[in-house]
């Protein structure tokens, strides 16, 4: 029997989403209009903090670092177990990236390793909520503030997650999100920055719109005329258009349901694989209520590559997340060397992301479970 391809992640878009986008296409506003404000308000209901919508998760990181004052001469301490953008956006601003090792079970930034790595030049300590499991936010925030730095939470995986009863988005000085199609909900491409600090949020909002200052009371040439706008600090065009924000509004209405289904799939995987000694299932720390973005199965017997190939041969399109950032040639060429973060490197050698998205049926889940189980226990 030939099965349809089963990807590791996939968007869940229905007629409500499509109609919302069509309504915007028929309106007077395609960008910088009322749908942007509606989306930001709706998102704030989930994050527990005001938000600024931007064009991608990468743009969110770039915007957050700019708002934090990251630049030449400063350092950003972060995890290597993440997509390269977490580091690359700091590098693009001229900062030095310092990689600290991860916890061996969650693959989140280890607080002790971050403390050892942070120097007086640290402008930000950036924790990454790997797979949707929140970082040790309280300890990382305390560490960052003790070093006169800001705590940034890369929550590309974890919109909808909570830590000790508080929503991700309200825990850090600046939190960044991604709404790529495989994420917990989607705006096609898109992201956001959240902060409870009004000054940081204003800086983020200004950066995402070229740095333009339109308030005459804040301008240096305020008597030029009603048309006048000026730039005090250079920004970029990271505005998320209304047509995508409309999709985000309707997607957020389904986020509770999306989370419930993801939890069900994770529970089914955990139960099925508990008796397989060759693998480890993802942990959940006390106080964490993850919105699971990935299901990171760890293959402990050295056969990760073989399992990857076997599952892909049956059209179960598993993936690996992630190559340690400093292994990328762009960072290796700067002098970063393998062996810096042994926990991250071991995690990478074992990790395999199984399919996890709300539209998966029970038959799809059983198909994955059967394929993994047969690999380790043939016959």
- Stretch 10-21: mean pLDDT: 98
List the structure tokens of 112. Answer: 């002790």
172 CB contacts (<8 Å, ≥6 apart)?
127, 137, 140, 141, 151, 152, 153, 195
Are 325 and 99 in contact, with CB atoms under 8 Å apart?
Answer: yes
d(Cα 350, Cα 38) in Å, to the nearest integer?
42
Average pLDDT, the chain: 97
d(Cα 103, Cα 79) in Å, to the nearest integer?
10
- The per-residue pLDDT for range 303-338, each reduced to its tens digit, is 999 999 999 999 999 999 999 999 999 999 999 999
Going by CATH, does the domain composed of 255-376 fall within 3.20.20.140? no
d(Cα 20, Cα 15) in Å, to the nearest integer?
9
- The per-residue pLDDT for range 42-86, each reduced to its tens digit, is 999 999 999 999 999 999 999 999 999 999 999 999 999 999 999
Going by CATH, does the domain composed of 6-252 fall within 3.40.1190.20? no
Are 86 and 126 in contact, with CB atoms under 8 Å apart?
Answer: yes
Where do we find the tokens 């999100």?
Answer: 177
- Stretch 1-26: mean pLDDT: 94
Confidence band, pLDDT 50/70/90 cuts, at residue 170: very high
* Alpha-carbon distance values, 84 to 79, 89, 331 (Å): 10, 9, 10
**pLDDT (0 to 100) of residue 64:** 98
**pLDDT (0 to 100) of residue 1:** 66
DSSP 36-56: HHHHHHHHHHHHSS-EEEES-
Question: Which region holds residue 211: left if phi is over 0, alpha if psi is between -120 and 50, else beta?
Answer: left
List the structure tokens of 10. Answer: 């996939």
* Overall pTM > 0.95: yes
**According to CATH, where is 3.40.640.10 located in the chain?**
6-252
d(Cα 14, Cα 317) in Å, to the nearest integer?
23
**pLDDT (0 to 100) of residue 105:** 97
* E-only strand ranges, the chain: 6-7, 51-54, 75-78, 96-99, 122-128, 150-154, 162-163, 166-167, 174-178, 191-194, 212-213, 230-231, 279-280, 288-289, 295-299, 316-317, 351-354
- Stretch 115-123: mean pLDDT: 97
**According to CATH, where is 3.90.1150.10 located in the chain?**
255-376
d(Cα 70, Cα 75) in Å, to the nearest integer?
8
Confidence band, pLDDT 50/70/90 cuts, at residue 115: very high
107 CB contacts (<8 Å, ≥6 apart)?
79, 81, 130, 131, 296, 343, 344, 347, 351
List the structure tokens of 313. Answer: 């041969």
**pLDDT (0 to 100) of residue 223:** 81
**pLDDT (0 to 100) of residue 70:** 98
Residue 260 has pLDDT above 90, yes or no: yes
**pLDDT (0 to 100) of residue 333:** 97
């Amino acid at each position: 029997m030939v099965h349809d391809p089963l990807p590791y992640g996939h968007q869940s878009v229905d007629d409500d989403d499509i109609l919302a986008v069509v309504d915007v296409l028929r309106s007077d506003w395609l960008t910088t209009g009322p749908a942007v404000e509606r989306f930001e308000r709706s998102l704030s209901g989930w994050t527990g903090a005001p938000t600024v919508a931007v064009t991608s998760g990468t743009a969110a990181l770039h915007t957050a670092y700019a708002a934090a004052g990251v630049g030449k001469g400063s350092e950003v301490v972060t995890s290597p177990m993440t997509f390269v953008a977490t580091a690359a956006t700091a590098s693009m601003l001229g900062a030095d990236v310092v990689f600290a090792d991860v916890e061996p079970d969650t693959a989140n930034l280890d607080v002790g390793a971050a403390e050892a790595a942070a120097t007086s030049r640290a402008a930000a300590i950036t924790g990454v909520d790997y797979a949707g499991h929140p970082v040790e936010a309280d300890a990382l925030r305390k560490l960052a503030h003790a070093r006169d730095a800001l705590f940034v939470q890369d929550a590309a995986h974890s919109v909808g997650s909570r830590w000790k009863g508080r929503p991700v988005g309200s825990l850090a000085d600046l939190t960044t999100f991604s709404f790529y199609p495989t994420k917990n909900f989607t705006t096609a491409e898109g992201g956001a920055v959240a902060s409870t600090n009004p000054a940081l949020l204003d800086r983020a909002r200004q950066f995402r719109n070229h740095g333009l200052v339109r308030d005459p009371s804040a301008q240096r040439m305020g008597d030029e005329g009603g048309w006048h706008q000026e730039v005090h600090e250079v920004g970029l065009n990271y505005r998320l258009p209304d047509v995508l924000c409309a999709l985000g509004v309707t997607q957020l209405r389904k986020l509770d349901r999306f989370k419930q289904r993801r939890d069900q799939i994770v529970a089914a995987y955990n139960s099925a694989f508990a008796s397989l000694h060759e693998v480890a299932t993802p942990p959940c720390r006390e106080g964490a209520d993850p919105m699971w973005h990935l299901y990171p199965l760890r293959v402990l017997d050295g056969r990760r590559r073989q399992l990857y190939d076997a599952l892909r041969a049956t059209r179960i399109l598993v993936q690996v997340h992630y190559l340690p950032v400093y292994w990328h040639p762009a960072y290796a060429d700067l002098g970063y060397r393998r062996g810096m973060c042994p926990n991250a490197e071991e995690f990478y050698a074992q990790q395999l992301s199984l399919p996890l998205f709300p539209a998966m049926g029970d038959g799809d889940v059983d198909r994955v479970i059967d394929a993994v189980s047969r690999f380790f226990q043939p016959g």
